[in-house]
Structure 1
Amino acid sequence: MKENELKPTLGIWSALALIIGTIIGSGVFFKPASVLGEVGSANMALAAWAAGGILTIAAGLTIAEIGTQLPYTGGLYIYMSHIYGKVWGFLAGWMQIIIYGPAIIASLSLYLAVLMVHFFGLGDQWQIPIAIIAAVGVMFLNMLNKRYGASAQIITTVCKLVPIAAIIVFGLIQGDEAALGQVLTQATSTTTGSFGVAILATLYAYDGWILLSNMAGELKNPQKLLPRAMTIGLLVVMFCYIMINLAIYKMLPADTIIAEGEKAAPFVATMLFGDIGGKLLNIAIIISILGCLNGKIMTFPRIVYAMAKENDLPFSKQLAYVHPKANTPIVSIGIIMLFSIIMMLFFDADYLSVICIFVIYLFYVFAFIGVFIMRKRNKGVKLSYRVPLYPFTPIVAILGSVYIIWSQVAADLVGVAISIGIVLIGLPLYWLIHRKD
């Protein structure tokens, strides 16, 4: 294999850590109150978390069938290019490196900074500097060697599951509230699309499931590892999310959860384990976000690298550079980090966490439809993996995604229009790059 290509070195544990570790970040701790506030009752909030999980599992299993047929670095960019042509592939890649990837990294960094500022008793003016320092530190870790990033992912994934398990077990045992049936005394939901917006909020917590496909070319046996890691990882995450929300509802009345907002989970930890427990949970959340951030910074630059390998970006030769000893695309990593820092400086974390989910689901719909197209193209070909319960599973993924898109359009038409406009700016860039073709 050529020295300037990424090598397949990742096994099942690294794959599982990437799936679980890049999904479980800040959302499971910060989103319970916002989800509850949208729907007005604990039952509907749990339904939203379950619906988000089912949609994510359906999506992951559907994408896994495409990924096993196209086991190359680049994920959605590769899939869209193969199924719909180079222009659609370029827009999918452009959207991820300009909006989706940097927005996710920026929002995680800002959430992390909020926690660290409060934990160390610093002023709010330190939030953006801490966010940038944390992200840049993780960036350098991933530039050193892929093994360091993969090892950090495994360690942080194990560390984040311990406090989640503690809250679930002790919360369910010691809680005195009637977890099911709680209703807000003053419902905050006023729009018919609120259940969809609530699911959208859960999808920020579930986000990250597709990122393993960005590194499919670096898995030792992607045809087997990709669907296996996707299935096991998503089931683990969905179980954790539903159970931790159930534990929170068992410990706190619905109105108290809304009043505590993003501090609801730490408040529960303090109730269960005292002030020391609350501080330990804050440390655990910091580790959790760092692990999630590490997974994002490890995977998103692979899209830049894959596009550069196809000469789909300006300065493709430089962006496709892989350090010969570290075996990492250091220039692509630096570019993603630059875009992320710009977003940290100009946008707040909550806005970034919503808008990034909307834009990626626009392309997910086309990718899910792509399973039917590829089945028709490859009729009679034996596949190493087929999505379970076909065609029901991809149909669930498609319908759920369309519902999410519609809900966000109803909730924030201006933000949606801006996001779509930024994606479409990629078209003249594509024509400029390929004007000689």
Structure 2
Amino acid sequence: MKQKEYGLFTAITMIVGIVIGSGIFFKSDDILNYTGGSVSLGILVFAFAAISIVFGSLTIGELAARNSKSGGIITYAEEFSKPVACAIGWFQVFLYYPTITAVVAWVAGIYTCLLFGFNMTLMNQTVIGAIYIVFLFVINILSKKFGGYLQNGSTIIKLIPLIFFAICGLTMGDPGATLTSTNVKTVGTASVLAALAPIAFSFDGWIVTSAIGAEVKNSKRNLPIAFVVGPLIVLAVYIVYFVGISTLIGPQNVIALGDAHVDVAANSLMGPMGAKIVLIFVIISVVGTVNGLILGGIRLPQSLAARNMFPFANKIKIISEQYGVSIRSAIVFFVVVMFWLVIHFITQKFALLTSGDVSEISIALSYGLYIYLYIHVILLAKSGEIKSKIKGYVIPGLAIFGACIILSSVFSNSLFFVHFSICLTIILAAMLYYTEIAVHREGDQEKKVA
């Protein structure tokens, strides 16, 4: 039996550390674009998304507190349906983790170009992103400890530029005027809802903490608290940064500058040398996010293979004694990440997306899979296993509502139906694969009995 190693503080800081990453640096302009440059409307959408995530995390916390096994949401889904668990696993391996990894690595390339004065071409940004991916894959395969140290260090560093810009904007500018500015475009409900997609990207990662549920002390008490406090801390940091950066250079300038607004803000405050220091912090933060995704992603195929939920499971589940991870599992994930990096390059090169990127669709669709778990919490309450009506009905009901709102945010995405078709194909293929494996396994057992 695993020793309960983590206390409440660790659970909270894990959520904060995982969620606060690169998203807020390069999604602020997208959010303002959707809200017509209205900072106050952006704050409202931030708060709405955070509340949706709090209810979702509380609902998942019910499952985490009831299950002593490791593995996160795949394990929870496995309790209700192994084919569905297999589908969720394939979705994470082929869509969710790799699309986010590819996009964030590309963002690291953007800020690296800004730092060293390279030409800001999409090709340069993508090639540098690919170099980061290769380097971090090698690091995480050759040295688990070094990958862990990089992750811990980047968690602390990533807060520095956020707090710096927040303080400067709130103290040196006029945040009141920014919040009440009338220099905004009128936008419709659909545009405001679309702002939830980049915000969902910025908040993404909270679900990962459910994987340590079995190792949290007094998890029935501490996990729900962490799942509420953690997102609220992230919300506070994001809002003060969002207001601060908008106050410093103006909402319309943030929209016009796009991802370069961080560099411009830093230059205006500290000059060229100071801006480079800030960019170094931002790059470390972004690369730390890529590292965390790779650290977890290379283990996904081997985790599925250990459950016989992945092709060539007998080979992929073999963990190297020297490196402590399955090399084949890491290679599978690497190939998928590089594939999505190429797809991302194509969508950006030929302007196939009006705004945002392919990772936003994967993140939004993941909430559709979470709904499956939310419904099962309600079913547990209906069967009497969860006594509290608040925990069993009200909270998961609100979580479903919030998930539906986030899902609706990507319907206007020009590639939604293409991406959704890919997602549906992968999910159906996974369920059929596991069903066939189960049928063959039962047939083999019958032959042995005979």
TM over 0.5: yes
Q: CA deviation at 1:244?
A: 0.5
- The correspondence for 1:404, drawn from 379, 403, 406, is 406
User: Cα gap change, 1:343/1:222 in structure 2, threshold over 3 Å: closer, same or farther?
Assistant: farther
Question: Within 5 A, what are the aligned runs for 1:20-419?
Answer: 20-40=16-36, 41-83=38-80, 85-123=81-119, 124=121, 125-176=123-174, 178-187=177-186, 189=187, 191-214=188-211, 216=213, 219=215, 221=217, 223=219, 226-227=223-224, 229-324=226-321, 326-348=323-345, 350-377=356-383, 379=385, 391-412=393-414, 413-415=416-418, 416-419=420-423
Please give the alpha-carbon distance, in whole angstroms, between the structure 1 residues aligned to 2:72 and 2:240.
Answer: 31
Please give the alpha-carbon distance, in whole angstroms, between the structure 2 residues aligned to 1:214 and 1:329.
Answer: 19
Bigger shift: 53-62 or 152-161? 53-62
User: Cα gap change, 1:222/1:117 in structure 2, threshold over 3 Å: closer, same or farther?
Assistant: farther
Q: CA deviation at 1:136?
A: 2.3
Q: Cα deviation per residue 1:387-433 (whole Å; 9 max; x = unaligned)?
A: 98664332222101112222322444523344333433334333443
User: Cα gap change, 1:378/1:78 in structure 2, threshold over 3 Å: closer, same or farther?
Assistant: farther
**Count of residue correspondences:** 424
Bigger shift: 369-378 or 19-28? 369-378
Q: CA deviation at 1:78?
A: 1.5
User: Cα gap change, 1:303/1:229 in structure 2, threshold over 3 Å: closer, same or farther?
Assistant: farther
Classify the secondary structure of the residue corresponding to 1:409. Answer: coil
User: Cα gap change, 1:388/1:18 in structure 2, threshold over 3 Å: closer, same or farther?
Assistant: farther
Taking only the aligned residue pairs, the percentage that are identical comes to: 27
Classify the secondary structure of the residue corresponding to 1:425. Answer: helix
Q: CA deviation at 1:57?
A: 2.0
- The correspondence for 2:434, drawn from 426, 430, 435, is 430
Aligned partner letter, 1:425: A
User: Cα gap change, 1:227/1:326 in structure 2, threshold over 3 Å: closer, same or farther?
Assistant: farther
Bigger shift: 98-107 or 251-260? 251-260
Provide the aligned C-alpha RMSD in A: 2.8
User: Cα gap change, 1:378/1:98 in structure 2, threshold over 3 Å: closer, same or farther?
Assistant: farther
Q: CA deviation at 1:378?
A: 5.7
Q: CA deviation at 1:29?
A: 0.8
Q: CA deviation at 1:66?
A: 0.8
Bigger shift: 250-259 or 47-56? 250-259
Please give the alpha-carbon distance, in whole angstroms, between the structure 1 residues aligned to 2:21 and 2:430.
Answer: 30
Rg bigger for which structure?
2
The gaps in structure 1 that reach 5 residues or longer are 2-6
Aligned partner letter, 1:171: G
Please give the alpha-carbon distance, in whole angstroms, between the structure 1 residues aligned to 2:69 and 2:88.
Answer: 15
The gaps in structure 2 that reach 5 residues or longer are 349-355, 443-450
Classify the secondary structure of the residue corresponding to 1:311. Answer: coil
Q: Cα deviation per residue 1:343-399 (whole Å; 9 max; x = unaligned)?
A: 112224742222211221110111222222233446278xxxx89866433222210
Aligned partner letter, 2:132: A
Aligned partner letter, 1:158: I
Please give the alpha-carbon distance, in whole angstroms, between the structure 1 residues aligned to 2:92 and 2:132.
Answer: 21
Paired residues of 1:270 and 1:278 also in contact (CA < 8 A)? yes
TM-score by length of 1: 0.87
User: Cα gap change, 1:272/1:36 in structure 2, threshold over 3 Å: closer, same or farther?
Assistant: same
Aligned partner letter, 1:156: S
Bigger shift: 295-304 or 149-158? 295-304
Please give the alpha-carbon distance, in whole angstroms, between the structure 2 residues aligned to 1:74 and 1:322.
Answer: 17
Q: CA deviation at 1:221?
A: 4.7
